[in-house]
Amino acid sequence: MIEIDKLTKTYGETRAVDAVSMTVETGTITAIVGTSGSGKTTLLRMINRLVEPTSGEVRINGEPTHAQKPHILRRRIGYAIQGHGLFPHHSVARNIAAVPELLGWPKDKTAARVDELLTLFGMEPADFRERFPAELSGGQQQRVGVARALASRPDLLLMDEPFGALDPIIRTRAQADLKDIQRKLGSTIMLVTHDMDEAISLGDRVAVMDGGKLVQYGPPDEIVASPATRFVADMVGDAERPMRLLSLIPAADLAEDGTAEGSPLPAGASLREALSACLWSGREAVPVEREGQPAGQVTLAAIRARAERHA
């Protein structure tokens, strides 16, 4: 558990972060979203003491971070940034092994961890170990950057706009990869983004920053359905709110008896995906399956009715 208690950072008369308090549960993804200058990156960097707080405290599993030497603390916290920050003259394997080597892991344990992570990220170890960053695509570099941050099994992974440099198609795949890896490893992740869609898609909880203050903190559906301030409402976008809520609701929640034609959607697909499937194919309903077995259908009328409730 990560506890942030009245964390504040001032620069002269400016409060970059103003008495922020929040609790991040173990094994969850928290997305911190806000416009440029809202304090989100400063907040993130105070957690691993790349920026020293003016006042307030961060506790990781009950232990105050100020009670540890910064370089020791950072070995417990993974950190991934936009552009990945890979060492260009080191191989993929050496990049991923950087922190385990600093911690004095045995070579065989380090090598096994490198191969484990490459496999987890869908990169065949024999094909990628000895490649250099310049030989990788943007998406592959991003995966290696996250693998490096996870290599020492940190208590917490901090990510600062990790997908900002990727094109939209690769970015969507990278986001899906991250959610999949997080579920498999049970990692605790705090991620900064300026993109509300990304925050809603990735976060188990979303923290909205404005002018250094935490203006709302809660599950994505709560942020979208009940914005606490005009600023949050503007970030969500009034026109986009129904579609964003549909993206948070599994299609299976609206499944009803019936045998619609066409390729079935998995039960975990969202109502937004079901709507797209209906509109793309011109159908009034799409079938849904759960674990390979038919689970009914979702109708266009039901999707529209759900969206209208939040319009």
pLDDT averaged over every residue in the chain: 84
Q: How confident is the model at residue 239 (pLDDT cuts 50, 70, 90)?
A: low
**Residues contacting 89, CB < 8 A, separation 6+:** 132
pLDDT band at 169 (very low <50, low <70, confident <90, very high): low
Assess whether 23 and 133 both reside in one domain: yes
Same domain, 265 and 177: no
Asked if 116 and 183 sit in the same domain, the reply is: yes
Q: How many other β-carbons are positioned within 10 Å of the β-carbon of residue 68? A: 15
Q: For residue 82, give the CATH number of its domain.
A: 3.40.50.300
What per-residue confidence (pLDDT) applies to 28? 92
**Residues 95 and 13 reside in one and the same domain:** yes
- Looking at residue 207, its pLDDT comes to 95
Helix, strand, coil % (nearest 5) of the chain? 40, 25, 35
Distance CA 260, CA 303 (A): 15
For residue 9, the cross-strand partners are 17
| pLDDT of the residue at 206 | 94
Residue 133 has pLDDT above 90, yes or no: no
**Residue 124 φ then ψ, to 5°:** -55, 120
pTM of the model: 0.75
The residue from 214, 236, 258 where one domain ends is 236
Instruction: Say whether both 207 and 282 belong to one domain.
Output: no
- Does residue 69 sit in the same domain as residue 211? yes
Is 264 found in the same domain as 147?
Answer: no
Number of domains in the chain: 2
Give the range of the structural domain holding residue 271, as residue numbers without chain letter: 244-308
Q: How large is the average pLDDT for residues 288-311? A: 75
More confident residue, 181 or 60: 60
Is residue 6 domain-shared with residue 140, that is, in the same domain?
yes
Are residues 39 and 172 both part of a single domain? Answer: yes
The answer on 161 and 29 residing in a single domain is yes
In tens, the pLDDT along 83-94 reads 567 888 999 999
User: For the range 94-103, what are the long-range contacts, defined as Cβ-Cβ under 8 Å and sequence gap of 24 or more?
Assistant: 95/133, 95/144, 95/148, 96/144, 96/147, 96/148, 96/151, 97/151, 98/148, 98/151, 99/75, 99/148, 99/151, 99/152, 100/151, 100/152, 102/75, 103/75, 103/152
What is the per-residue pLDDT for 235? 81
* Residues 6 or more apart in contact with residue 272 via CB below 8 angstroms: 243, 246, 247
- pLDDT at residue 43, rounded to an integer: 94
pLDDT for 194-234, tens place per residue? 888 888 888 899 999 999 999 999 998 888 878 888 888 88
The pLDDT, as a whole number, for residue 2 is 92
In DSSP notation, 106-139 reads: -HHHHHHHHHHHHHHTT--HHHHTT--GGGS-HH
E-strand ranges in the chain read: 2-11, 14-24, 29-33, 55-60, 63-64, 77-81, 156-160, 189-193, 205-210, 213-218, 265-266, 285-290, 293-299
Question: 16 vs 238, which has greater pLDDT?
Answer: 16
- Name the 3-class secondary structure at 270: strand
- Apex 79 CA angle, 75 and 82, nearest 5: 155
Query: Are 259 and 177 in the same domain?
Result: no
Q: Provide mean pLDDT across the span 155-168.
A: 77
**Model pLDDT, residue 83:** 57
**Does the pLDDT value for residue 306 go beyond 80?**
no
**Residue where a domain stops, chosen among 219, 236, 253:** 236
What is the per-residue pLDDT across 30-69, written as a single tens digit (0 to 9) for each?
999 988 888 999 999 999 899 999 999 999 988 899 888 8
pLDDT cut 70: percent of the chain above it: 94
